[in-house]
């Protein structure tokens, strides 16, 4: 069965490592995460919805 979890963009407020997945997230990056991961990370204050300024900065980089 294929993995069909929906993903969404998340702006990383504070760099961190997810011990459960082994993924590393760098401060200031915009990354794809699952809906569940986003909810958990946002509740911990680690990510937020990317804003227009974040998207413009990512394109300029």
Contact 41, 47 (CB under 8 A): yes
- The answer regarding whether domain 7-52 maps to CATH 3.30.70 reads no
**What predicted TM-score, i.e. pTM, was given to this entire model?**
0.80
What is d(CA 58, CA 61) in angstroms, rounded to the nearest whole number? 5
pLDDT digits 0-9 by tens, 1-51: 456 689 999 999 999 999 998 999 999 999 999 999 999 999 999 999 999
What is d(CA 11, CA 28) in angstroms, rounded to the nearest whole number? 7
pLDDT digits 0-9 by tens, 32-41: 999 999 999 9
């Amino acid at each position: 069965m294929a993995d069909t979890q929906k993903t969404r963009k998340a702006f990383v407020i504070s760099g961190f490592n997810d011990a459960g997945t082994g993924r590393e997230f760098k401060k200031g990056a915009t990354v794809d995460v699952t809906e569940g991961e986003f909810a958990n990370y946002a509740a911990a204050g680690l990510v937020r919805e990317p804003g227009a300024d974040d998207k413009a900065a990512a394109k300029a980089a």
